[in-house]
Amino acid sequence: MKRFLKWLGIAIATIATIIGIAAAYVALAPYPTYEIPQVNVTVASTEARVAHGRRLAMSLCVACHADPETKLLTGKHIVDLPQEFGTAYSRNITQHKTAGIGSWTDADLYILLRTGIHPKTGSFVPPWMPRFNLMADEDLYSIIAWLRSADPMLAASAKPNTEGQPSFLAKFLARVAFKPMPLPTTPVVRPDSSFPVQLGKYLANGAYGCFACHSANFATMNNEHPELSEGFYGGGNPMPDANLKIVPTANITPDKSTGIGSWTEDEFVRCMVQGIRPNGRVIRYPMVPHPHVTESEHKAIYAYLMSIPAITNAVTAAQEYPEITSKDAGKRLYHALGCVRCHGISGLGVANLRRADAKYPSDSVLADVIRHPRAYNTESYMPVYASVMSEADARAVAAYVRTLCK
């Protein structure tokens, strides 16, 4: 018996040592590398492709890569990355030859966007970078054509990339759960608009990847077969806002009590374009309006969502901020209407408010910007507050914003 216990102890110690060595390797090693796929892709740039690619990129690329300091796609700190994944910075994707992607070929861009493998090093791109393995060929070619275009956001900038510090969990998942996506073996065709449910399925799952956020958890999503994701469109995925307060994603299945089954098509489109729900409440960041998606596309997505199985899931409310008891009405509204979730407590969140003082010195203009943001910036991701915020309230918020600027 003693001999058995002795050998059992040795076996346990050996296993523990092996696990420790493996854990140390994962913690110290970079992301894994893979063989770089060989593809022959050359994209002809046309005006139509560039315009379509820009529209797609405004929903898929720009929000993460746009640097508020340079006004270019030179990358930035991803402040709303879940803390358990470490720290991350998006990359410079301007046309600079060394700091950006100016020296990349069309095939290089295709490989990265399809698989998640860096086309120069073979390194696995961090798992929070989307993979467009289900995107239609023409849509992907359009994004590549846009990345090659003369769009001012892509003007060459030598701003160096900042390397992130991924956590042990991020590196572990990159080795056991998140893998490069396979290249398509047959052409991927965008469904015809005369079949709205099929088109909506493609848009929601293949192009815009709505399922990734609105299913149960990023760790259990299925990029190859979205329908197999846990809690498919049932929401509850814990996502952080700019201050790392958790905002679980919404249930957008056709369940009438906990999902969007009672929403009309017009109400859905208004929510997606203006950021205002049917009950008059503003959507909460990290969800933002998607004004660059066309109305017909929004309607197709709605048709598809109404066709999927309903899931009864009363999503937990977002983590609240300490009650604002200040007499400052603007501060109370800044929190109550969700401005704090995107712009941060200090005004230096995902979008920097501290330039507002110089950019809009007139109080009336700044208040109007808050209520009608796209009248001043057609690319704005802000909700359109005009229907839920009076002019007096907007002036109060503007006054509070000026205190943040100082």
- Please, where are the H alpha helices in 79-224? 106-115, 137-147, 168-176, 196-201, 210-214
Give the pLDDT of residue 62. Answer: 94
Cβ partners under 8 Å of residue 406, min gap 6: 357
Q: Are residues 119 and 231 in the same domain?
A: no
Does residue 345 lie within any of the structural domains?
yes
Q: Which of 165-179, 220-234, 368-382, 391-405 shows the lowest per-residue confidence on average (mean pLDDT)? A: 165-179
Give the pLDDT of residue 2. Answer: 53
Does residue 1 lie within any of the structural domains?
no
Residues 131, 137, 141: CA angle, nearest 5 degrees: 85
The two tokens of residue 167 are 């956590």
Does residue 166 lie within any of the structural domains?
yes
Q: Are residues 89 and 141 in the same domain?
A: yes
| Residue where one domain finishes, among candidates 273, 305, 337 | 305
CB 53 within 8 A of CB 148: no
Give the pLDDT of residue 123. Answer: 92
Q: Are residues 203 and 171 in the same domain?
A: no
Q: Are residues 133 and 62 in the same domain?
A: yes
**Residue 354, phi then psi, degrees to nearest 5:** -75, -10
Q: Are residues 206 and 169 in the same domain?
A: no
**CA atoms of 222 and 203, how far apart (whole Å):** 16
Cβ partners under 8 Å of residue 260, min gap 6: 250, 251, 252, 253, 254, 268, 305
Give the pLDDT of residue 143. Answer: 98
Give the pLDDT of residue 203. Answer: 98
Please state, in angstroms and as integers, the Cα–Cα distance from residue 9 to each residue in 23, 108, 158, 280, following that order. Answer: 21, 52, 57, 64
CATH of the domain at 368: 1.10.760.10
CA dihedral of 205, 209, 211, 215, whole degrees rounded to 10:
150
| Residue where one domain finishes, among candidates 142, 176, 210 | 176
DSSP string, 286-354: TS---TTS-HHHHHHHHHHHTTSPP----PPPPPPPPP---S-HHHHHHHHTTHHHHH-SSSBSSSBGG
The answer on pLDDT for 84 being more than 90 is no
pLDDT, tens only, 272-286: 999 999 999 999 999
Q: Are residues 78 and 160 in the same domain?
A: yes
The answer on pLDDT for 12 being more than 70 is no
Q: Are residues 205 and 279 in the same domain?
A: yes
Q: Are residues 347 and 285 in the same domain?
A: no
Q: Which domain holds residue 292?
A: 196-305
Domain count along the chain: 3
Q: Are residues 52 and 164 in the same domain?
A: yes
**Residue 239, phi then psi, degrees to nearest 5:** -115, 140
Does residue 294 lie within any of the structural domains?
yes
Strand 238-240 and strand 165-166: pairing? unpaired
Q: Which of 60-74, 99-113, 199-213 shows the lowest per-residue confidence on average (mean pLDDT)? A: 60-74
Q: For residue 247, list its beta bridge partners.
A: 239
Percentage of residues of the chain with pLDDT beyond 70: 93
Give the pLDDT of residue 79. Answer: 84
Does residue 181 lie within any of the structural domains?
no
Q: Are residues 167 and 283 in the same domain?
A: no
In this structure, which amino acid lies at residue 57? A
The mean of the pLDDT values for the chain is 90
pLDDT, tens only, 20-77: 444 444 444 567 899 999 999 999 999 999 999 999 999 999 999 999 889 899 999 9
Percentage of residues of the chain with pLDDT beyond 90: 73
Q: Are residues 293 and 253 in the same domain?
A: yes
Does residue 20 lie within any of the structural domains?
no
Q: Are residues 138 and 245 in the same domain?
A: no
Does residue 31 lie within any of the structural domains?
no
CATH of the domain at 252: 1.10.760
pLDDT confidence bin for 257, thresholds 50/70/90: very high
Strands (DSSP E) contained in 82-208 are 86-87, 165-166
- Please report the sign of the dihedral spanned by the C-alpha atoms of residue 75, residue 88, residue 122, residue 124: negative
Does residue 182 lie within any of the structural domains?
no
CB 122 within 8 A of CB 60: no
**CA atoms of 170 and 59, how far apart (whole Å):** 25
For residue 286, cis peptide bond before it (omega within 30 degrees of 0): yes
Please state, in angstroms and as integers, the Cα–Cα distance from residue 129 to each residue in 74, 135, 180, following that order. Answer: 15, 15, 11
**CA atoms of 52 and 374, how far apart (whole Å):** 20
pLDDT, tens only, 113-158: 999 999 999 999 887 788 999 999 999 999 999 999 999 999 999 9
